[in-house]
Amino acid sequence: MKINLRLATPSGDVFFGPVSEVSLRTSQGTIQLSAGNPTYLGKIVAGTLNLRVQSEWLQFALFDASASAHDGALAVMAVEVRKLEASHSAGSSRLRRTRHE
């Protein structure tokens, strides 16, 4: 079952669309989110959002965020989002930063 995800900063959407799987790692632990289970997540100081779109995995670092899930949709708002991208060398990653001041 697909989950509609909106990941945004006050400046606009970072990601919007259906995902096959999503999990959120916070300092309090990992939260697995699934369609049909209403969830509200309070303030997330820092966390990592992992999502799967078909066979591709994407990962985002979140800072000062809040999230809610309801009726197959997940909305995540964050002051700062960093897209973690695999680089050509093994074990390293590049950061793309989207920040609202």
Report residue 35's pLDDT band, with 50, 70 and 90 as the boundaries: low
Residue with the larger pLDDT of the pair 36 and 48: 48
Which residues constitute the domain of residue 65? 3-86
**Residue 48 belongs to a domain with what CATH number?**
2.60.15.10
pLDDT in tens, 8-22: 999 999 999 999 888
> What's the structural domain count of the chain?
1
pLDDT at 101 over 70: no
100 in any annotated domain: no
Domain membership flag for residue 99: no
Q: Is residue 31 part of a domain?
A: yes
Residue 13 burial (10 A CB sphere; 0-12, 13-18, 19+): exposed
Q: pTM here?
A: 0.74
- Does 79 reside within a domain? yes
Q: What is residue 73's predicted lDDT score, i.e. its pLDDT? A: 84
